[in-house]
């Protein structure tokens, strides 16, 4: 089932939790989060999740599906498919790759009807996106330190809130750091949220994000919490001094704990279009990302951006979001996503 969290060796308040260098033989078993759905009513929740994902991606799925209705397999179909893929934010590289692979497949398998070609495209998309699918692992370190970055308004703080609640549900203790010291309101937003949800939030009025992050890691270690999540202020990759500041935050986190941050995530707004790819490249160049979270796939997002990421900068996509409720954030599953796009 979905309870990888639950397998964590129960060691409440065990200060003696061994801080062992994680050699393969000695490292505690990783805790995966293949599915963050609440354990109760998984089938119902899953259904509503898929419905929301499908609704979110309906523009692209309509554009793609209509092409195959009673279509002849000819150059016109490929041209239209090319246009639809480009419009879906897949980008030139992934679009060309998919078209070439599809043409080859059609030839090799002598596919004659449109439904078979659509099925072949679906399969190719699943193959393209599957390498992005990665279970999110916890439990290799105590605490697991996560740093969350992204442009302004991408959904960083909301995602942290959702993840924290999912983790709590699965018995993980969580500590948050209000590393967004840019805006006082941001700090307060997280503090209030933390109080409501019984989660400690480390914050400082001083306005130094690196110092807050360092404190949070220290405090997380001292308290033996399972997860420390560090929020950061939104910034554009073109704001070079702010990117430098982010690198510094990451370095200082490493001073607080060897090997930390264990996860450096980039949160992307799914509606950003091709610019999302530029964001992935820039943040990855600066921080060496370990994973992505793609939010707002319930809006006007077209979904093809994942194909672009898979081709050009395949950073794992841990989670995707289709709304503001806690269950609206789920692990990325390639087959599910493609089903929503081309089902
Ligand atoms: N529809 C929808 N809205 C979302 C989703 N995730 C976040 N939001 C909304 O996006 C807005 C911005 O979210 P925040 O979490 O504050 O974004 P942020 O990246 O922390 O923003 P800054 O700290 O200002 O850079 C809020 O109104 C969220 O409710 C999602 O998956 N779907
Ligand atoms: Mg924020």
What is the Å distance from ligand 2's center to 150 Cα? 9
Ligand closest to the CA atom of residue 265: 1
pLDDT for residue 37 is more than 80: no
pLDDT for residue 8 is more than 80: no
3-state secondary structure (DSSP) of residue 316: coil
pLDDT confidence of residue 4: 27
pLDDT tens readout for residues 241-268? 999 999 999 999 999 999 999 999 999 9
Ligand 1 atom closest to the CA of 153, numbered from 1: 21
Do 184 and 311 lie in one domain? The reply is yes
Question: What is the token pair recorded at 32?
Answer: 């995966």
Do 114 and 166 lie in one domain? The reply is no
In this prediction, residue 3 has a pLDDT band, given cuts at 50, 70 and 90, of very low
What is the Å distance from ligand 2's center to 155 Cα? 7
Residue 180, phi-psi category: left (phi > 0), alpha (psi -120 to 50), beta (remainder): beta
Q: How far apart are the C-alpha atoms of 273 and 302, rounded to whole Å? A: 8
Strand order in the sheet with 317-321: 200-202, 174-179, 227-232, 144-149, 263-269, 291-295, 317-321, 329-331
pLDDT confidence of residue 343: 84
Domain with 308, as residue range(s), is: 136-333
Do 104 and 234 lie in one domain? The reply is no
Do 202 and 305 lie in one domain? The reply is yes
Residue nearest to atom 1 of ligand 1 (CA): 323
* Residues 6+ away with beta carbon under 8 Å from 159: 148, 267, 293, 295, 319, 321, 329
In this prediction, residue 182 has a pLDDT band, given cuts at 50, 70 and 90, of confident
Burial 134-166 (b: 16+ CB within 10 A, else e): bbbbbbebbbbbbbbbbbeebbbbbbbbbbbbb
In this prediction, residue 314 has a pLDDT band, given cuts at 50, 70 and 90, of very high
Pocket residues for ligand 1 (CB within 6 Å)? 150, 152-158, 180, 186, 234, 267, 295-296, 298-299, 321-324, 328
What is the Å distance from ligand 2's center to 209 Cα? 13
Domain assignment present for 26 = no
CATH code of the domain in which 105 resides: 1.20.120.140
Domain assignment present for 339 = no
pLDDT confidence of residue 183: 78
Domain assignment present for 252 = yes
Annotated binding-site members? 150-157, 231-235, 295-298
What is the Å distance from ligand 1's center to 180 Cα? 14
Do 294 and 147 lie in one domain? The reply is yes
Burial of 208 (0-12, 13-18, 19+ CB in 10 A): middle
Q: How far apart are the C-alpha atoms of 299 and 302, rounded to whole Å? A: 9
Do 262 and 299 lie in one domain? The reply is yes
pLDDT confidence of residue 300: 87
Ligand closest to the CA atom of residue 295: 1
Average pLDDT over residues 146-151: 98
* Cβ atoms of residues 185 and 237 within 8 Å: no
pLDDT for residue 38 is more than 70: no
């Amino acid at each position: 089932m979905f309870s990888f969290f639950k397998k964590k060796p129960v060691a409440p308040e065990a200060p003696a939790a061994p801080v062992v260098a994680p050699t393969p033989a000695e490292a505690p078993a990783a805790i995966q989060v293949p599915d963050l759905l609440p354990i109760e009513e998984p089938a119902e929740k899953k259904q509503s999740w898929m419905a929301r994902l499908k609704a979110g991606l309906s523009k692209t799925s309509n554009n793609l599906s209509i092409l195959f209705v009673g279509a002849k397999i000819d150059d016109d179909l490929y041209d239209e498919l090319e246009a639809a893929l480009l419009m879906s934010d897949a980008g030139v590289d992934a679009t060309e790759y998919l078209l070439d692979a599809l043409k080859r497949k059609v030839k090799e398998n002598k596919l004659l009807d449109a439904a078979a070609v659509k099925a072949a495209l679906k399969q190719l998309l699943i193959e393209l996106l599957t390498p992005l699918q990665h279970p999110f692992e916890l439990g290799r370190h105590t605490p697991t330190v996560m740093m969350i970055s992204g442009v302004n308004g991408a959904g960083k703080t909301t995602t942290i809130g959702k993840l924290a609640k999912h983790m709590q549900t699965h018995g993980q203790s969580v500590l948050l750091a209000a590393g967004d010291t840019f805006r006082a309101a941001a700090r307060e937003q997280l503090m209030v949220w933390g109080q409501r949800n019984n989660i400690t939030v480390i914050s400082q009025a001083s306005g130094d994000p690196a110092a807050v992050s360092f404190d949070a890691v220290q405090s997380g270690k001292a308290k033996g919490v399972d997860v420390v999540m560090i929020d950061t202020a939104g910034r554009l990759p073109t704001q070079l001094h702010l990117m430098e500041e982010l690198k510094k935050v990451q370095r200082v986190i490493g001073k607080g704990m060897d090997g930390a941050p264990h996860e450096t995530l980039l949160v992307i707004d799914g509606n950003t279009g091709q610019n999302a790819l530029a964001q992935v490249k820039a943040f990855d160049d600066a921080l060496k990302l370990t994973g992505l979270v793609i939010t707002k796939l319930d809006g006007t997002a077209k979904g093809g951006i994942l194909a672009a990421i898979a081709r050009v900068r395949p950073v794992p996509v841990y989670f995707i979001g289709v709304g503001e409720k806690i269950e609206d954030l789920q692990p990325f599953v390639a087959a599910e996503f493609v089903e929503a796009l081309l089902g």
